[in-house]
Amino acid sequence: MLFAGDLLFVQHVPVLDGSVRGWLKTIEDLARIPATSVVPGHGGVSDWPDALAAERTYLQRLESDCRDLIKRGMPLAQAADIAGTSQKSNWELFDEYNKRNATAAYSELEWE
């Protein structure tokens, strides 16, 4: 049994308090841990490493959307309303946290 804490969110949209690039790298490192089940920071006990799939997809989409919006010259305020929204139907509390996540990811990625 793996206790992942807030590195893994199940059902509840992830809350990006740090680096989107760093979190994605950490997900790849976590996926190599030999376990059969995981206790996430948010959500119920889940199969491991399958539980990482939705979170990985969300963070990759957020990163990709932000990079695209930055390239297109879209200002942060507008980008925060758009980035990641294709994932809305997959997550609880999406409206409460996605704009915050998009703002953090955009702010990190605009200086690449």
Q: What is the pLDDT of residues 18-57, one digit of tens each?
A: 999 999 999 999 999 999 999 999 999 999 999 999 999 9
Q: Does the pTM of the predicted model rise above 0.85?
A: yes
Label residue 97 by pLDDT band (50, 70, 90).
Answer: very high
pLDDT of residue 48: 98
pLDDT tens digits, 51-73: 999 999 999 999 999 999 999 99
CB contact set of 52 (below 8 Å; sequence gap of 6+): 8, 27, 30, 31
Q: How far is Cα 55 from Cα 49, in angstroms, rounded to an integer? A: 11
The type of residue at 42 is H
